[in-house]
Structure 1
Amino acid sequence: MNVLRTAATKSTRQCKPPITLARSFHVAQPRLTGKTIEATKETFDSLVTKADHPVIVDFYADWCGPCKMLGPLLTKSVAGNPKVTLVKINVDDNQEIASKFKIAALPTVSAFNNGEVVDSFVGMRSGPMVEQFVKKHADLA
């Protein structure tokens, strides 16, 4: 009987799924990659200039037609590239940030890496062009 019990115990142990270890990050710095986040002047620095990964910033306004068309394309592209974060800034509500980065036309999309603007474009772009822009900066991670 002990032999059967031992054999049954060994066989069930072998059937357990392997333990996968999750990559841990500092508790105060949650990973926001692959997500779209609305920022304010209070959260902009922590989300963009102090980020430890590439960040795409969408400068937009609620009244801007091209902004409304571009926003979903950016969100979809970033969701498919989990190495970057999309941060949206409403320039009407955050004029100081728009002024700091010299935003003169909408929509303006800027890529940040290590707290610096490394690339940007102004105006509407097609889906494949947006995807290419996001992928290019996701590869920097």
Structure 2
Amino acid sequence: MNAIRTLSRPASQAIRTASIKPSLFHTSSVVSSGKTIEATDKTFADLVEKADHPVIVDFYAEWCGPCKVLGPILTKAVADNKKVTLVKLDVDSAMDIAQKYQIAAMPTVFAFQNGKVVDEFVGMRDRKFLTEFVNKHGDRQ
């Protein structure tokens, strides 16, 4: 019965599915749209270092209490600013990248522009600071 339902989908659904742009889902062509993306050691370079728009990177760890508080506030600030992308990187899963950027404390947040670090802060910050940080870098375009 499920197979019959699958085969008898209305044509309008097939058209909507076909109209989705695959480039939006390819890591090397992320559109800056206020999205939050989880990076890995394999996707970090494409998402951050090769990006053609401002990227905020949240270096965090699952065991870090302040990271769990900062993360949702930063995600909301980026969602409200469609000019930047937030990339989250679990440093325990990507130790080589954490070492490359000399991450010694968490949370650490970097702002990247044209693949280069242009600003950073370490530790918990309030909502106002985070919103201003995100907006400042969104305006750098």
- Separation in 1, partners of 2:64, 2:107: 8
Cα separation, 1, equivalents of 2:60 and 2:134: 17
Indicate the SS of the match to 1:119: strand
Q: CA deviation at 1:32?
A: 4.2
CA distance in structure 2 between the partners assigned to 1:90 and 1:124 by the alignment: 17
User: How many corresponding residue pairs?
Assistant: 117
State the shift of 1:64 in Å. 0.3
Output the aligned Cα RMSD.
1.5
Residue 55 (1) aligns with residue 55 (2) = yes
Question: How far apart are the structure 2 equivalents of 1:30 and 1:109?
Answer: 20
- The runs of 5 or more residues in structure 1 that have no matched partner are 1-24
Alignment of 1:118-129 (within 5 A): 118-129=118-129
Per-residue CA deviations over 1:47-103 (Å, capped at 9, x if unaligned) read: 000000000000000000000000001100000000000000000010000000000
Inter-partner Cα distance in structure 2 for 1:26 and 1:116: 27
SS at match of 1:56: strand
In the other structure, the counterpart of 1:105 is 105
1:31 Cα shift?
Answer: 1.0
Superposition pairs of residues 1-141 of structure 1, within 5 angstroms: 27=23, 29-141=29-141
**Identity rate, percent:** 62
In 1, the alpha carbon distance for the partners of 2:49 and 2:86 equals 13
Per mean C-alpha deviation after superposition, the further-off stretch among 92-101 and 26-35 is: 26-35
* Aligned structure 1 segments of 4 or more residues deviating by more than 4 angstroms: none
TM (norm. structure 2) is 0.80
Structure showing greater radius of gyration is 1
**Structure-1-length-normalised TM-score:** 0.80
1:138 CA drift (Å): 0.3
Richer in helix (by share): 2
Change (3 A) 1:138 1:26: farther
Deviation at 1:26, TM superposition (A): 9.7
Mapped partners of 1:133, 1:30: distance in 2: 21
Partner amino acid for 1:138?
A: G
- Unaligned 5+ segments in structure 2 are 1-20
2:42 aligns to what SS in structure 1?
coil
